[in-house]
Chain A
């Protein structure tokens, strides 16, 4: 690693995230100026975007090759008061909370209470959402049945497509102008709305060019003052690059990375999109320019690597925007989920792994940063040496890259109706979510607490946490004479709560479409320009809304415990079980031991529980898949948790699988922590019984002891394990390679482990940044040792 990269990396890793009021102030200035009243909503949004980019502070760090920050300096993080207007109490919490804090200074607090809050209170979409949804929605949300992704963050979950790398803003403006020319005011009742939206997109494109121009000017000023001749030349080059991109298509690798970076900053400045934004298939998008630069000797492999490393650091400088309340519970991390895809297949279906794929793996290994996240796409055609190279990095224990099944992703996307070409050009983003890159708005709308539905079923519609009647009165389970009666009741409750969630989604989606369009994101995403429609209003080629199921292992084991012990073997009566759950197994130690140790569990390749898992999957899938959203697309399911399995667990009492009240649920599609006792092949067989191809992503965590992966042969066998899982259509697998002893020691001596990185669920994080419950949950996951 070159010295400058080393010091930029240090700067990034050591920066204490702080709140910056800059964006909020500029936005408010614009809206208070009265200009917004004279413009349509999308045009006002675009003008606000432009105003911010024209006036925000420009930051070029010492030695940087790729420039541009979202805030005034690295890790200074803006707020988005039009989405969520923080209270001073929120700021206090953000400033003082133990984990994932943001320092907030007095000036920020003062501006917030004197300027920002008075203007945005009641106007923010968060306020509008909570005012617009049903009381049933509010009650279910408060009870921890589901979360809501769009109450503090903007719909995002999308990835830059290949076309971004071959087009500049001028090209997009030309397309926009053509689309305006083609508007049919005689026959299209939407024509005026489309024109306003397209005008907004043109303004947004212009805004990004102006922003880059400011950077160009600043770089030139710095160059004039610079005494080191080498750096002076570099700054002049940077100034020239920022004159050319993003206005025009990039002509070499350096320009391409800078081009993308301005686009990235544009997206995350316009709104606080979930999963920030994403350069997508980086080894594909950059490959022809890389080859060109190597062949004409603009770059050596080393200098290309340095550029990529400089690019990597930029991501790490942008923590996820501050989250509060339930949103902080479900995604409590600085990581903003930009997931760089490497490998996979080309649009013609052939293997896409190239030299640059390996170079990117080198960069990941050397940088060892939390952001960006990275993954390898493995298809049947991917060479074994590529997977092996990925494992060389995985075994060092930082959780990256995660491993995805390209063939299954393609099946998932085509099943949803995407063209096979669009599917092959896609991949996974965020944690594990499959998408057609550059062409799809695939919006995660919230996590859904599946075991909570069982708890409510077992209590005849009442939430035992509060004593409130929350669900349907499906009958006293003591009177159910067969297990099937319980399943029928559970299905009714599931449909009831999913209906509440989907009704809420359809309201919230409209609020976003009507009040917070995203013209900049729209011009980047196919086919918003052709359709004259906003990204938040169904302008994209594909529009999917996901509800992410959580607790598959916990629900399966709970149902298995009931079926096995109450109905099949009559070891215990329903009344006895309910009493034990109510008392949190106080005085029922032996019953609890039977439930834990003498009852079939998911994750052991045993059809008894695994068939119940399949039943739950069908019930959940049938409740959701294919139901229309308000953007011309459909609702879909995926199965992943981020950190919500801890929060959801806290909202549930004891469960029939022997889990104590308020403990975390199982995460992703992994078995309950410690319930899988037959080794990794059994886990994989069980998990492969999920019909992955009817989801948009599933998340499987496996933990191996570092010793196990120490020898070459075992490593090879874990690679075989992955290939076998993928043969069975598994979607994704990720690995923690860190011993329980290390984790326990890190809890005791956090100072000694400031750099210890672990895999959480779909992302990596510093162990010491995790809450104690999540730390314990990771420790309790089954660790596969030497056989």
Chain B
């Protein structure tokens, strides 16, 4: 029997940066990665947890268990907007692939109802889980941070082996994928890293060619103390300038990639 309930921490309607058109984004709770720059730190723990309210000082419970039917009720509310704009549902997180059975059930239901589906993923999962996604998603927004595994482990807490394997697999299955590179100043934007990313995408992948570069922002910083967790970049980083972003864009373009700033 399929698991019909999952844990999410937010539903965002009128999401306009998570795939084509007007979308409803479902934020899954739980992430195997622990990126230093994560702007949704409340997404990482797979279980519901409490966060301090910024003003009142009261605690608020983050994360709740939902079943497919209540989630679909929420998703259906904006069908008229999906139809008009070519939008649909995006599953994000956290890492949706951490709740694979629930995710498959949700995606099947969306597909049955002809609702466009997109996943925003770290790509970190078993190959078996990734295979179970085949044909169920109209678009993968696939994060790629480092090719160098040591760096990857240092800044995300996990190895990138399965991420790269899964990406090659999706490429070989001709799935529709856009790679998203977070531009973290001094961390992912180094010449070496950009070069290794450009090389990997252009030489190891046959079909995938589109890349979005996403500038670092500090929007999540305030949430860390409220979760009683340290922010490892505290006061260190600034948002990259347009000039800097354009430099990276141009560099990646020399690998024949289609690059866009922002998602």
Contacts and interface: CB of A to CB of B under 8 A. Distances in A.
A163 to B, nearest CB: 37
Given A681-B22, A711-B262, A721 B80 contact: no
Nearest to B77: A605
Given A681-B22, A711-B262, A717 B80 contact: no
Contact of B21 (A680, A711, A720): A720
Contacts of B17: 786-787
A721 B14 contact: yes
Contacts of B12: 679, 787
Contacts of B84: 720, 723-724, 727
Contact of B13 (A681, A711, A727): A681
A316 B83 CA distance: 42
Given A681-B81, A727-B84, A728-B80, A717 B22 contact: yes
Contacts of B18: 787
B14 A713 contact: no
A299 to B, nearest CB: 39
A305 interface: no
Contact of B16 (A605, A717, A723, A727): A717
A291 to B, nearest CB: 34
Contacts of A784: 14
B205 interface: no
A713 B19 CA distance: 11
Interface string A659-697: 000000000000000000011111001000000000000
B222 to A, nearest CB: 15
Contact of B77 (A680, A685, A721, A723): A685
A685 B73 CA distance: 14
A714 interface: yes
Given A711-B262, A717-B85, A724 B80 contact: yes
Given A720-B21, A720-B22, A787 B15 contact: yes
B78 interface: yes
Contacts of B262: 711
A696 B22 CA distance: 30
Contacts of B13: 678-679, 681-682
Interface in A729-787: 784, 786-787
A721 B14 CA distance: 9
A714 B18 CA distance: 11
Nearest to B15: A787
A712 to B, nearest CB: 11
A724 B22 CA distance: 11
B78 A681 contact: yes
B168 to A, nearest CB: 29
A725 B137 CA distance: 28
Contacts of A786: 16-17
A585 B26 CA distance: 38
Q: Sort chain A's interface into a size bin.
A: 20 to 34
Nearest to B260: A713
Contacts of B15: 787
A679 B22 CA distance: 12
Nearest to A714: B16
Interface string B225-263: 000000000000000000000000000000000000010
Contacts of A713: 16
B43 to A, nearest CB: 16
A665 B14 CA distance: 27
Contact of B80 (A679, A714, A727): A727
Interface in B19-56: 21-22, 25
Contacts of B81: 681, 720-721, 724
Contacts of B21: 717, 720
A679 B77 contact: no
A681 B77 CA distance: 9
Interface residues of B, number: 19
Nearest to B23: A787
Interface in B83-132: 83-85, 87
B85 A681 contact: no
A328 B62 CA distance: 49
B2 to A, nearest CB: 29
Interface string A701-712: 000000000010
A680 B16 contact: no
A716 B85 CA distance: 9
A679 B11 CA distance: 11
A784 B16 CA distance: 12
A700 B72 CA distance: 28
B85 to A, nearest CB: 4
Contacts of B25: 787
Contact of B14 (A681, A711, A728): A681
Nearest to A711: B262
Nearest to B219: A786
A786 B77 CA distance: 20
Nearest to A678: B13
A105 B85 CA distance: 58
B77 A787 contact: no
A721 B78 CA distance: 10
Nearest to B83: A724
Contacts of A678: 13
A30 to B, nearest CB: 59
Contacts of B16: 713-714, 717, 786-787
A679 B85 contact: no
B145 to A, nearest CB: 23
A592 to B, nearest CB: 14
A786 to B, nearest CB: 7
Nearest to B17: A787
Interface centre among B22, B25, B77 (most CB of A within 10 A): B22
A46 to B, nearest CB: 53
Contacts of B77: 605, 681-682, 685
A493 to B, nearest CB: 34
A249 B15 CA distance: 53
A678 B74 CA distance: 11
A383 to B, nearest CB: 15
Contacts of A711: 262
A194 to B, nearest CB: 52
A605 B21 CA distance: 20
A714 B85 CA distance: 11
A723 B87 CA distance: 14
Contacts of A728: 80
Interface in A349-394: none
B60 to A, nearest CB: 11
A54 to B, nearest CB: 57
B128 to A, nearest CB: 33
Interface centre among B18, B78, B87 (most CB of A within 10 A): B78
A716 B84 CA distance: 11
A543 B203 CA distance: 74
A251 B87 CA distance: 50
Nearest to B18: A787
Nearest to B24: A681
Interface in A648-665: none
B14 A787 contact: yes
Interface centre among B84, B87, B262 (most CB of A within 10 A): B84
Contacts of A724: 22, 80-81, 83-85
Interface centre among A605, A681, A724 (most CB of B within 10 A): A681
B14 to A, nearest CB: 4
Closest 8 CB pairs of A and B: A720-B85, A679-B14, A724-B84, A787-B15, A681-B14, A717-B16, A679-B13, A724-B81
17 contacts: A679-B12, A680-B14, A681-B13, A681-B14, A681-B22, A681-B77, A682-B14, A685-B77, A717-B22, A717-B85, A720-B21, A721-B22, A724-B80, A724-B84, A724-B85, A787-B12, A787-B15
Given A721-B22, A723-B84, 4 more contacts: A681-B13, A681-B78, A711-B262, A787-B12
